[in-house]
């Protein structure tokens, strides 16, 4: 087991901020470790960005018992279904089209089931 430290400098809205993150890993090669860290955050950022933009997840105020977790599972399923659909329109447009076109919704769901 190895411990890794990643120090990054972030420029956000004309402000510079330094972050230090610590990791526990089984990797011993520094280049492989750096690639793994970048890859992890790339996936995290793209997933959370999609959930926020397509489903406006950050503004969700569901707090009752398991409701937040249940809706998170539903959103992940819906995002996966929209990603698998073959149409060339954006995820946000696919989601909106599912709201008003039941045939399109059935087509999106059938891609997941088949």
Would you kindly state where each structural domain of the chain is located, as residue ranges?
Answer: 30-113
For 26-38, write each residue's pLDDT tens digit.
Answer: 888 888 888 888 8
- Tell me the pTM: 0.59
Dihedral (CA of 11, 15, 16, 19) sign: negative
pLDDT at 103: 95
C-alpha angle with apex 22: 19 to 24, nearest 5 degrees? 160
| CA 53 to chain centroid | 10
Please name every residue paired with 72 in a beta bridge, in sequence order, or none if there are none. Answer: none
Q: Where are the beta strands (DSSP E) in 1-114?
A: 2-12, 15-25
Please name every residue paired with 4 in a beta bridge, in sequence order, or none if there are none. Answer: 23
């Amino acid at each position: 087991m190895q411990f890794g430290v990643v120090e990054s400098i972030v420029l956000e809205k004309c402000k510079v901020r330094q972050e230090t993150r610590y990791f526990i890993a089984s990797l011993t090669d520094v280049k492989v470790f750096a690639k793994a860290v970048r890859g992890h955050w790339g996936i995290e950022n793209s997933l959370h960005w999609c959930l926020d933009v397509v489903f406006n997840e950050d503004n969700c105020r569901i707090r009752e018992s398991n409701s937040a977790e249940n809706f998170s599972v539903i959103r992940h399923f819906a995002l996966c279904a929209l990603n698998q659909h073959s149409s060339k329109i954006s995820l946000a447009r696919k989601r909106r089209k599912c709201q008003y076109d039941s045939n399109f919704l059935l087509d999106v769901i059938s891609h997941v089931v088949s």
